[in-house]
Amino acid sequence: MSLRPVFQFGIVIVCGILCVANCVETVRAEDALEAQIDFQKDVQPFFNDYCGTCHNPDDQIAGLDLEQFQSVESVTTERGTWQKILHVLNTKEMPPEDEAQPSEEQRKAITQWIDLELKSFDCTKIDNPGRVTIRRLNRVEYNNTIRDLMGVDFQPADDFPSDDVGYGFDNIGDVLSMSPLLMEKYLSAAEKIVETAIWAEDPYQAPRKSFEGAEMQQDRGGRAIGKFRSLVSMGEVFTEHEFAADGDYLVICEAYGKQAGPDPPKMEFRIDGKAVETVNVTAVAESPGYYEIRLPVTAGKHRVGVAFLNDYYKPKHEDPKLRGDRNLYICNVAIQGPIETTPQELPETHKRLVFCDLSEGEDPLKCAHAILDQFISRAFRRPATEDEIKNFMRLGYKIIEDGGTSEQALRVVFKAILISPQFLFRIEFNEASEKDEQDRALNDYELASRLSYWLWSSMPDDELFELAGKGELSKPLVLEAQIRRMLADPKSSALVENFAGQWLQLRSLTEAAPNKDIFSEFDDELRLAMRRETEMFFAAAIRENLSILDFLDGKFTYVNERLAKHYGLEGVSGPEFRRVSLEGTQRAGVLTQASILTITSDPTRTSPVKRGKWILDNILASPPLPPPPDVPLLSEDADAVASGTLRQRFEIHRSNPACISCHEKMDPLGFGFENFDAIGRWRTKDSGFDVDASGTLPDGQTFNGPAELLTILKASRGEFSRCLTEKMLTYALGRGLEYYDKCAVDSICEALAKDDYKFTTMFLEIAKSDPFRNRRNSPGDKK
């Protein structure tokens, strides 16, 4: 099937993506001559003949619709795709072997043109730092932020719904949605957090003793009626109670009145026969009411009573509305206390958050204002506005007006702050400028948040806030010093757990399930040791500012006795991890660590395909195309297993023309690690046959065994440097990279190469980069 008329405009498409509009023929004439390409005579026939069958709007093999790439600008805007196309042409992965093939001259001419276009990318003409979608805190960030904001470390987000993943990470703004269920979780978590962090008096938690009306004594004027006691004329219902200690107590009486005359029944609370307080009982029999007083009482036995004061009996009053018999009915009396007005020792979180006295002093409102100013500023990660402070103070006033204490009001206000979008989301507002510029530099508070959530997965600390407040954080030397400080801080372990855990896919180790009949030694203790090894290796790379190339061939690792035995290393005893040399062994870097080897295996055997794909994805940034549909699975029956090594069976499997193009790229990388079984143990035999760990890469390089393959991979340091840089920049920004980020990536990689690929250099260069320090304004989110 021939390509559609779009190709009549000079489309340059290799295996599905190359388009050039007819106007480009004149504009790019010099470049075309350099690449020895004539659009009319060479390009159109090439793509009609070799790409049109598979990559058209109807078939869209590998999900590619060529009509979406109809201009030479697509080389810039879809740069990653064009680079892949250039790669598959250079390595002859495309067109597939069972399709018509171009001559070497044709292939060379096309690849030269693509290469020329890719190299013509002019960074001086690209001025777009990109913009990040307003981001919700993910579960890890929420837990860590609560820890640092409140001083409460009980992981409230652990039962939240899982965060979605984009571009390989769960901190990407575009996928962090807010569901009704998640909002309910935030509400519940906020309540638990403030109750734990802030002490507030709750008298109803004190010891309580209740007396039914009928079991109490009465001096006159009534009698027991069921569980109640009536007062039909003025009199008192009372009981004797032993008060355990000096202190404040609540006396709570459930009562109702038979209403008559102009006034409701008046009930007087008494202690030892002395009046304390009088209340009007407006409740009726259908709905008794609760009436309470609070009073200080000394320890010992005291008489507690309630009295009826205003008896009324006028059944023949001249005004029918005033006729009747007024009575009082006592349902029960409860005594609660002693009430602790202040605990002997306030929680440390309370002392830190409530740093002045809300109930005493010359100006409690000034104290409340100061508390909210500090808390809102830290929670919102920027200075609080006066309107924000006043609005939250008004909420507190309502709680106090309804009878709450200052601390109870503060709990409600803090809860409201913790469910505010300003806390739950990381927001970078547009800022108007006189020139109405599209781009702007982040202010120092925004920069502080970008740094802290990148390196710590948490809010900025006091030092970052202080520097931001002074406007000094954005100064180059100050910024560099802060990055070095933050990487040395224990909180940088979040970078290990969250960046490394997702880049290296260590989180998948939790679900790994090697077959216990085949790998009986695998258990949770070994699983944990595997992950710990890789995390400690990554942490050492940060802490010691190692070369990123050590991820490929570093001759050291961290093991305890269990993992050392698994690796066949001697001289290690005990559960503690320690650093050991790998000199003289076949292991080096992360690719030979059991964590990576296990997650890239099947339950019953190794998987060269998974291992090869993992390397292409995470080391070389060259992921293969998705497999074609209906690819038959590798036979796993007993006869097949006995017929030869896994490699031999794969040779038969990959002979399928639909599979070979991708397998030629993946399989050699995976087979290079065949000496390691499905849980990372060294072996020389597979099903009784000698393991063959040799291979030939698409570019013709050969190797025999993992050590030689690692040497080749280290030699491709430029590809690995770019891969790691792109992944780290994606994680730091919280968005996928776009074509306009190429210049920043190039600059970071260049600085890495000049500094012997030191890990800290990557962090410093990312922090100085245009996309990290700036943002593009958008009319959709103006403040």
Does 665 lie in the same domain as 585?
yes
Quick one: 299 and 386 in the same domain?
Answer: no
Token pair of 34 as six digits:
């350099």
| pLDDT for position 360 | 63
Query: How far are the Cα atoms of 3, 53, 72, 486 from residue 57, in angstroms, in the given order?
Result: 9, 10, 19, 50
Torsion of CA 372, 373, 376, 381, to 10 degrees: -160
Last residue in a domain, options 696, 717, 738: 717
d(C-alpha 771, C-alpha 745), whole Å: 10
Same domain, 274 and 360: no
DSSP 700: S
Bridge partners of residue 238, in order along the sequence: 217, 305
For 235, which DSSP code?
E
Dump pLDDT digits (tens) for 575-602: 999 999 999 999 999 999 999 999 999 9
| pLDDT score of 27 | 38
Q: Any residues with CB less than 8 A from the CB of 344 and at least 6 apart, and which?
A: none
Please give the structure tokens belonging to residue 779. 């009319």
pLDDT tens for each residue of 362-394: 577 899 999 999 999 999 999 999 999 999 999
User: Are 312 and 400 in a shared domain?
Assistant: no
Q: Are residues 548 and 683 in the same domain?
A: yes
pLDDT at position 56, please? 62
Tell me, yes or no, whether 537 and 682 share the same domain. yes
Residue 369 inside a domain? The answer is yes
Contact 246, 297 (CB under 8 A): yes
Kindly report the pTM of this predicted structure.
0.78
* Residue 11 belongs to a domain: yes
Answer whether residue 20 is part of any domain. Answer: yes
Does residue 406 sit in the same domain as residue 323? no
CB neighbour burial string for 397-427, b if at least 16 within 10 angstroms, e if fewer: eebeeeebbbbbbbbbbbbbbbebeebbebb
Domain at 328, CATH number: 2.60.120.260
Question: Domain check: are 567 and 699 in the same one?
Answer: yes
Residue at 329 is within a domain = yes
Contact criterion met (CB below 8 Å) for 715 and 637: no
Q: Are residues 376 and 287 in the same domain?
A: no
Q: Is residue 144 part of a domain?
A: no
**Domain, as residue range, for 397:** 348-426
Distance CA 187, CA 590 (A): 42
Last residue of a domain, one of 374, 406, 426: 426
Read off the tokens for 226.
Answer: 């069921």
| Domain membership flag for residue 760 | no
Q: What is the total count of domains within the chain?
A: 4
329, 371: one domain: no
Residue 185 lies in a domain: no
From 602, 594, 575, 589, select the one nearest 521 (Cα to Cα): 594
Do 363 and 334 sit in the same domain of this protein?
no
- One domain for residues 328 and 374: no
Say if residues 367 and 361 touch (Cβ distance below 8 Å).
Answer: yes
Half-sphere exposure of 386 (CA within 13 A, CB side): 0
Per the domain annotation, does 328 fall within a domain?
yes
Strand partners, 136: 425
Which of 318, 339, 360 delimits the end of a domain? Answer: 339
Low-confidence spans in the chain with pLDDT less than 50? 1-35, 39, 433-435, 640-641, 643, 780-783
Q: Is 60 left (phi over 0), alpha (psi -120 to 50) or beta?
A: left
